[in-house]
Structure 1
Amino acid sequence: MNKRITFLLIALGVSAHGWAQEEADALRYSRLTTGGTARTQAIGGAAGSLGGDITASHVNPAGIGFYKTSEVVITPGFFFKSNSSSYLGNSADEKKSGAMLGNAGIVFGLPVRNSNSKFKNLAFALDYNRLANFNNTFRLDGINRTSSYSDRWVEELNRGNNPVPFSSATIDYPLGASLGLNTYVIDAEFDGSGNATKYVSGVPIGANGIRQQDLIKEKGGQDEFSLALGGNYNDQFYFGASLNFPTIRYERTRTFAEDDESGDNNNNFAYFEHTENLKTDAVGFNAKLGIIYSPVPSLRFGVAYHTPSWYSMRDQSTARVQADLEGFRPPNDPNFTNPIWQDTEELTDGYPIEYEYKLQTPSRAIGSISYIFGTNADVSKQHGFITADVEYVNYAGAKYNFNKGTAGDQDFARRLNQSIEDLYKGALNFRVGGEMKFTVLAVRAGFAYYSSPYQNTVSGADGSMKKFSGGIGYRNKGFFADLTYVHTLASDAYQPYRLSSTAVAPATVDLSGGNVLATVGFKF
């Protein structure tokens, strides 16, 4: 066996859970919020036409063209999340909190020396921005009376009525089914010639059902490094472009456990646990283009286009199954111990399973309008503003490419992309916010609504996300500081596993979380 093993998910049947979650992974890396400085987040992330904030690099780069001086900023923050799930009539709660860096960058304003030129200034920005924070924990807990998590491995190995040969079943599915088979969570039936004729689950589902618990711990983030150039023509037309390099670091540990609820201590099953570890690293690129038109100093219109992001992805996966089979003892196995367990590495010469592939996330289009109170182009004399963005994203446009794989890999990619088209849809996202300025102090408020990306939603989980924000700011003599709080409410559906023969009840997960951000900046 090779010392470095690269498996295709479908060709070698690595993990049915992996297959089922691939669509969700594409959505995770496509459904992004604005992020950026505390000022931008306080106004709901509506940065499409306002300008004068480094966050414009990631929303509408034309906003960089408003800079006539230079500045440096940094935005640390703290987050906390509370998740409440409902599964099979039972509820469970989990919490997560921690520190983060939301934004850091520098802008160089370059005024045009020729006073007769209609080109007033150029500006160049280097910026880091956190697009998504994956740090999270949630849990399901319920009694299932219709199916077992192990049934997915049974379906995988039975392949309809064409069972996988037993010798292959014990090694070729090292993230799931092989571990379940080798620990007797599932078993095989044989004909007189020793050929496997059927695979069956060893988990007994009686009248009391089985208790299922699913604990998911996630960490990491999606970040973007931006190089942006903006310009100002006659204080009316602002234009800009940015070249961006997004990165992904995502880690997930998931433990799904089933416990016997029958009270029978002689049915050869007490519990089993399946733990999966996934680490994803990616680097990509995209471009963003935008213009802002200001017919009068008090009014601004903006449009921006974000190309798709093209990622080179790398997954590293391992898994473990542990089971307590009570009094069960397999024949001809004098070394059997109870509980029994097996790890992926036992089947892969000690190495995790690795796979490299490509992912393209959808493009975006943004339209925006801002009204400046005070009707004066001099920001020191402005009294405030109100601004709004409308964003369109076709989440069904995410696409995988397994270009290093076999013909079977390519076929799986086509079917996976079709599944994404069937599950997701285009959606409109709305952001609105405003600021009132009092000499050196300012107060801000905002709201953002991210529509459901799903073609069909589960009852009790509409798939939308709402953000309520507010903050204060101080600006004086080349120094500024902003403090913002953003509260997020979201409701989503989560499918713990899928079966072709039996409907599996989804769970609903309600998120309530907050971010506290503080931006400190200096003009020079």
Structure 2
Amino acid sequence: MRKLVYLLILGGLMPNLYAQGISDVLRYSQESVYGTARFNAMSGAFGALGGDLSGVALNPAGSAVFLYNYASASGGLVDRQNDILYSNTFNTSADIDAAITQAGAVWVFGNSSDESDWGKFTIAVNYELQNNFDNEVVSIGTNTIGIDQFFLNQAEGLPLELLQLQGGESIPDLYQFLGETEGAAAQSAFLGFQSFIIDPVENTPGNTAYFSNVAPGSFNQEHFRVDSGYQGKYTFNLATEYKQSLYLGVNLNAHAIDYRSSTFLFESNNNANTAIDQIGFEENLWVLGSGFSAQVGAIAKLGDILRVGITYDTPTWLTLSEETSQSIETRRILNDNSTIIEVVDPRVVNIFADYRMRTPGQVKASAALLFGQAGLVSFDYGYKDFTEMQFTTNDPFFNIQNALIENTFKAASSYRLGGEYRVNQWSFRGGYRFEESPFEDTSLMGDLTGYSLGLGYSLDNVKIDLSYATAQQDRSEALYGTGLTTPTNIDQQMDVYTLSLGFFF
């Protein structure tokens, strides 16, 4: 029973639309390992190292490790492959896209005073890709539950007169009115009613009960979801060195979000006595957001070999805006067995009031062993409490979402291990990472496991780096939050290929 409740919650994690729910806050609270190729090749285990601009985005003290001014830019290919099981039918889908994963520079300023314990200080600016949302999931199968149940559930309790066009009223007019006064569920119910999927039990103005014109039986379903967009972090960094053994730094971060999702469900049936034998239902979501966070960090040298690091990331405070649209098309069977296509496309974009959220903070501890010019081994541990995710907009709906967050999520740890071996001008790298599921019920989202490899070459003042990183995670999602809640099980592998070019100046 508990898993069923969680699956219904996960229906809100799918963009069926109006995703102002725990989907948003979870989506923007997680981040992948992108950045420079050297950073990726070592699975992001850079908290005690520094000397890399993605390492600076991880631990702000890392810029003080640089000896000279340095700039780098990185780009890569992100390849997502999904193995999908829906209603006992297996399917695969894939998406590959190019992305700028990092771009930045650091300036090193020496201290002219020979008597001061404070050495150089540094200023850095950097862009880091946190999430690439490009993805495609195709769920295909035969089901005993139809999408009509979604519309039926959305309509229950609504007075019939709200779904009927009044004199001189158009479909766009009423659809927009329902969105402004009754909400998203009423708009979906309106589409179901106007496309003849549902009808009232009694054709009277006070009616609030409905039935489906789709006969029960077997349904062939194809559900497509295409996501795109990114989440990026723009960092301004200050750091300094104390007695050549302690590095201290602070980051001020601006965040940008552009997330788009389109879903389309095509359903057909040959059920006896059905009045509707085909349904095509489309929904679109666009989210824009901005936010702020800060980081403080330190790296200490404990002898010639050992370094340790500590970082605290504040929560990220985000402001988001959403736009949505819907349309539906059905094939209706008339009494003489002829068919007619019913299209309901309001061509109305719903624009929602901005809302605010807070993602959880994080503490990271790191240690590294450096073996002179021969190489190094580095380990990072992170702790993030996902129950601290919160909507900060004062609204009863968001208060309900905050209660769901507390009961659905948990604190999770992450582990990163990286190594580098140098031979003359060549560097050979590898890494491993493991991230615990943020869910109490790990069958909804499993742990993440990743591996990485890389190669670097230094020539005078120029550095060229290549990396390959792969990560695997499985999850279970409901297509819709009500009615059609059959779970889709997804085993996703994400491969990232990165090329970085850096130079000292």
- Length-normalised TM-score, structure 1: 0.86
Contact in 1 for aligned 2:17/2:285 (Cα 8 Å): no
Shift of 1:16: 9.7
Q: CA offsets, 1:255-295, max 9 Å, x none?
A: 12221143x4x521211121101010001010011111112
Partner-residue secondary structure (3-state), 1:55? helix
Q: Return closer, same or farther for 1:16/1:233 CA change in 2, 3 Å cut-off.
A: closer
Letter in 1 for 2:149: D
In 1, distance between residues paired with 2:52 and 2:402?
Answer: 37
For residues 296-311 of structure 1, what are the structure 2 equivalents within 5 Å? 296-311=303-318
> Quick check: 1:272 aligned with 2:272?
no
Letter in 2 for 1:342: V
* Other structure's SS at 2:29 match: coil
Following superposition, the deviation at residue 253 of structure 1 comes to 0.5
Whether the aligned pair in 2 keeps the contact of 1:316 and 1:355 (CA below 8 Å) is no
Check the 8 A contact 2:42/2:430 in 1, yes or no. yes
Equivalent residue for 1:236?
A: 245
Q: What SS does the corresponding residue of 1:29 show, helix, strand or coil?
A: helix
In the alignment, the residues of structure 2 paired with residue 288 and residue 91 of structure 1 have an alpha-carbon distance, to the nearest angstrom, of 44
Kindly state the Cα deviation for residue 503 of structure 1 after the two structures are TM-superposed.
8.9
1:190 partner letter: E
CA separation in 2, counterparts of 1:204 and 1:353?
A: 35
Name the counterpart of 1:493: 476
Write the distance in 1 (CA, Å) between the matches of 2:269 and 2:225. 21
Equivalent in 360, 363, 376 of residue 362 of structure 1: 360
Percent identity at matched positions? Answer: 25
Say what the alpha-carbon RMSD is for the aligned residues.
2.2
Decide whether the 8 Å contact of 1:68 with 1:111 is kept in 2: no
* Residue 201 of structure 2 is aligned to residue 205 of structure 1: no
Number of aligned positions between the proteins? 474
RCO greater where, 1 or 2, for CA within 8 Å and sep 6 or more? 2
Give the match for residue 321 of structure 2.
314
Q: Which amino acid aligns with 1:225?
A: Y
For structure 2, the 5+ residue unaligned runs are 1-13, 165-174, 179-183
Tell me, yes or no, if the aligned pair for 2:288 and 2:321 is still in contact at 8 Å: yes
Alignment CA distance shift 1:56-1:101 (3 Å) = same
- For the residue of structure 2 that corresponds to 1:41, the secondary structure is helix
Q: 1:428 aligns with which of 396, 406, 413?
A: 413
Shift of 1:155: 2.0
Quote the Cα distance in structure 1 between the aligned partners of 2:61 and 2:285: 39
Which of 487, 493, 496 is residue 506 of structure 1 equivalent to? 487
Secondary structure at the counterpart of residue 407 of structure 2? helix
Alpha-carbon distance between aligned partners in 1 of 2:298 and 2:161, rounded to the nearest angstrom: 62
Map 1:313-462 to 2 at 5 A. 313-327=320-334, 338-345=340-347, 350-374=348-372, 382-403=373-394, 410-458=395-443, 462=445
- AA partner of residue 29 (structure 2): S
Aligned to 2:30, the other structure's residue is in SS state coil
Question: Contact 2:50 / 2:56 at 8 angstroms: preserved in 1?
Answer: no
Corresponding residue for residue 9 of structure 1 = none
SS in structure 2 of the partner of residue 109 of structure 1: strand
Partner of residue 28, structure 1: 27
Alpha-carbon displacement from aligned partner over 1:79-115 (angstroms, at most 9, x marks no partner): 2221111111111111111211000001101121223
| Structure 1 residue 55 corresponds to structure 2 residue 54 | yes
Instruction: Give 1:412's aligned amino acid.
Output: F
Unaligned runs of 5+ in 1: 1-14, 330-335, 375-381, 404-409
Q: Match of 1:176, SS?
A: helix
CA shift for structure 1 position 254: 0.4
Give the Å deviation of 1:365: 0.7
User: Post-superposition shift, 1:399?
Assistant: 1.2
Q: Deviations over 1:188-226 (max 9, x none)?
A: 1226x54214122222222xx112221100000100100
Counterparts of residues 467-482 of structure 1 (less than 5 Å):
467-482=450-465
Which residue identity is paired with 1:153? F
**Partner letter of residue 383 of structure 2?**
Y
Aligned partners of 2:16 and 2:263 also within 8 Å:
no
Match of 2:5 in 1: none
Deviation at 1:19, TM superposition (A): 5.8
Give the letter aligned to residue 197 of structure 2: V
Matched, 1:186 2:167: no
Equivalent position SS for 2:230: strand
- The alignment partner of 2:21 has SS state of helix
- In the TM superposition, residue 20 of structure 1 has moved relative to its aligned partner by 7.0
Q: TM-score, normalised by structure 2?
A: 0.89
Contact 1:68 1:110 in 2 (8 A): no
2:268 maps to which residue?
Answer: 259
Tell me the SS of whatever aligns to 1:98.
Answer: strand
Helix, strand or coil at the partner of 2:397: helix
